[in-house]
Amino acid sequence: MYRLTDALLFPSPEQASDEGIVAVGETLKPERVMLAYRKGFSWFESDDFLLWWSPDPRMVLFPDQVKISKSMRAVLRKKQFEVTFQ
């Protein structure tokens, strides 16, 4: 398991533990959160240390292949929440 330092980097997802833990750290800065999200790492657990996850298998969503059901379309039309992606 990789221990994060002040340097803004994450190890490769292939280096995750059997449980899917990629890295452990002690500080949470906005720059680190943005970097983690860009690399597809899940949010940390509320523990003594910040644990960053990369489950195997990871979900990949292809927007052009998403099939939205009628009931979901009705929910989306109500605009009760916002859907964003990169």
pTM: 0.56
- Do the domain assignments include residue 74? no
- Do the domain assignments include residue 65? no
Q: Tens-digit pLDDT profile for the chain (86 aa)?
A: 788 888 888 888 888 898 888 888 877 888 988 888 888 777 666 656 788 888 887 777 788 999 999 999 998 899 888 777 66
Q: How far apart, in whole angstroms, are the C-alpha atoms of residue 13 and residue 54?
A: 6
Say how many domains are in the chain.
1
The domain that contains 30 carries what CATH number?
3.30.70.3550
Give the end-to-end CA distance of the chain in Å, rounded to a whole number.
28
- Do the domain assignments include residue 76? no
Q: List all residues 6 or more positions away from 36 whose beta carbon is below 8 Å from its beta carbon.
A: 10, 52
What is the extent of the structural domain holding 41?
A: 2-59
pLDDT of residue 69: 95
Which parts of the chain are beta strand (E)?
2-3, 21-25, 50-53
Helix (H) or strand (E) segment spanning residue 46: none
- Do the domain assignments include residue 82? no
For residue 84, give the amino acid letter.
T
